[in-house]
Amino acid sequence: MSAKRTKSPARELLFGDLWEFDPAPESANPYIDPRYGLFINGKFGAPKSRKYFDSINPGNEEKLTEIALAGEADVNAAYEAAAAAFTPWSKLPGAERGKYLYRIARLLQDRSREFAVAETIDGGKPIKESRDFDLPMAAAHFFYHAGWADKLDYVTPGRTLAPLGVVGQVIPWNFPLLMLAWKIAPALATGNTVVLKPAETTSITALKFATILRDAGLPPGVVNIVTGAGETGKAVVTHPLAAKVAFTGSTAVGKWIQHAIAGSGKKLTLELGGKAANIVFDDAPLDQAVEGIVNGIFFNQGHVCCAGSRLLVQESIADAVVSKLKIRLRSLRVGDPLDKNTDIGAINSKQQLEKIQGLVESGVSEGAELYQPSCSLPKKGFYFPPTLFSEVSQSHRIANEEIFGPVLSIMTFRTPSEAIEKANNTPYGLSAGIWSDKGSRVLKMASELRAGVVWANTFNKFDPTSPFGGFKESGFGREGGKQGLLEYSNLI
């Protein structure tokens, strides 16, 4: 009779092949060039380094295109173009800058199908996520900041915002286009010019975005896109012309950047790793909590810095939650990222796949209990099944290190204060989730969790108006909202 607390005996639900879906691949043409140069001063050009690297589709390991490897001279050219463009761009009336941003937002919407396919084959995320999340959110960020461009006098009473100059931006591979939008939109709205480096595994949508800038008629040099790996990134963040550096990526690299530019006078924002706690109380709506847990950790294959990778569940309902989770996992579809029915796509790179495999092995060898639903993975490409670890304790590696993959570590707690203590017992502090039917408890928990974002009875919700950023080793500075504008300006 009690659905919630009774352990289920041998009764099983059958998730078989009675009604198997036919393949439903998204067929729009992503229009990917065979080779991409660097986008500097409004034009694509060959790199002075004369080097190119391959970009592959992690879903099938096939080569997609060749991308220019920017050397120091190329990065320098990009900074010089951005510096030359800064004065006219920053002197434009805000309303005029806003028009460009609106135009970019609308062009992104117009070409969203094409961009969604490009994002999916370049990064491995399921097409339904690039179509329903990445593209609409990227456009929303440009629309939102377009609105701010002529209202900078009203951000803070009696003061106004002055641009910083040229900003150097380095973005990660998990949300390539969306992170570009998070970085470029506020920088342009406040009158800065940009040198941006996308991640080496996922540069395609940034380079396609350059064609949108061209179509929007953005003045040359306002946005420059240089591609490459760590060395290029190093040149971007340490360049003397950079008035500000904005970085999203790993904590290790973030620390290195902070060290490297210390004393240079550059402004810095870092959005780094996370190991978010998703806390489920015994009065929570369990099925919706399970849905939130799944969304929290399996969204984008778990390649999300604010992923709810630690599940803290009240001991009295732990069995019920875990058994519901296991049932839910059985109807998740893992496979071809381009298939419209795929829930979990490809891991972004071989390197990342190996990292996930290594951490999962450590979980098993340290004694945590592994559960993976049976699912057939494609033979080519980088795939990892959704994974649950129960019987995890605080001292396990999988409870501490950011896995950045579809792997959930489940721990239990007995009281709210124990939940707080465990949730905060991490060097990270990017996000957290609370599941409870009791409003007062949610508010109390939210004020005690050391995390930049706290979601209540939901997870992984984003909005351009809502500032996003971390505590502790998850970084500093905020992106989005009014707070995000202040990171790209001086208050005068």
Sites of contact with other proteins (CB under 8 A) = 1-4, 6, 8-9, 11, 13-16, 18-24, 128, 132, 283, 285-289, 291-292, 323, 327, 331, 340-341, 437, 457-458
- 209 versus 299: smaller Cβ distance to other proteins: 299
d(CA 180, CA 448): 32
Cβ 179 to other proteins shortest distance, Å: 24
Cβ 30 to other proteins shortest distance, Å: 19
d(CA 328, CA 26): 25
Q: What strands, in cross-sheet order, belong to the sheet with 310-314?
A: 369-371, 387-390, 407-413, 310-314, 277-280, 431-435, 453-456
Residues 130 and 119: beta-carbon distance below 8 Å: yes
Residues 410 and 390: beta-carbon distance below 8 Å: yes
Give the bridge partners for 39, in sequence order.
44, 225
In the Cβ-directed half-sphere of 72, how many Cα atoms lie within 13 Å? 5
d(CA 186, CA 175): 17
- 229 versus 327: smaller Cβ distance to other proteins: 327
DSSP tag of 130:
I
Cβ 208 to other proteins shortest distance, Å: 24
Give the bridge partners for 52, in sequence order.
68
Taking the CA atoms of residue 356, residue 360, residue 366 and residue 367 in that order, the dihedral angle to the nearest 10 degrees is 160
Residues 405 and 347: beta-carbon distance below 8 Å: yes
Cβ 8 to other proteins shortest distance, Å: 4
Distances in Å between the Cα of 35 and the Cα atoms of 58, 74, 119, 209 are 18, 17, 17, 15
Cβ 237 to other proteins shortest distance, Å: 38
- 191 versus 345: smaller Cβ distance to other proteins: 345
Hey, how many other C-beta atoms are within 10 angstroms of the C-beta on 351? 10
- 110 versus 287: smaller Cβ distance to other proteins: 287
Cβ 293 to other proteins shortest distance, Å: 11
Helix (H, G, I), strand (E, B) or coil at 16: coil
- 331 versus 394: smaller Cβ distance to other proteins: 331
d(CA 295, CA 9): 27
Cβ 356 to other proteins shortest distance, Å: 25
State CA 427 to chain mean position distance.
19
Terminal-to-terminal C-alpha distance of the chain: 66
Non-local CB neighbours of 126 within 8 Å, separated by 6+ positions: 120, 337, 339, 342, 343, 344, 345
Catalytic residues: 271
Non-local CB neighbours of 25 within 8 Å, separated by 6+ positions: 336, 338, 339, 340
- 129 versus 487: smaller Cβ distance to other proteins: 129
Cβ 280 to other proteins shortest distance, Å: 12
Cβ 277 to other proteins shortest distance, Å: 19
d(CA 27, CA 368): 42
Tokens of 172: 């990660």
- 6 versus 415: smaller Cβ distance to other proteins: 6
- 323 versus 394: smaller Cβ distance to other proteins: 323
- Beta strands (DSSP E) in 281-352 are 310-314
Going by C-alpha positions, the residue among 287, 286, 311 that lies closest to residue 298 is: 311
- 22 versus 54: smaller Cβ distance to other proteins: 22
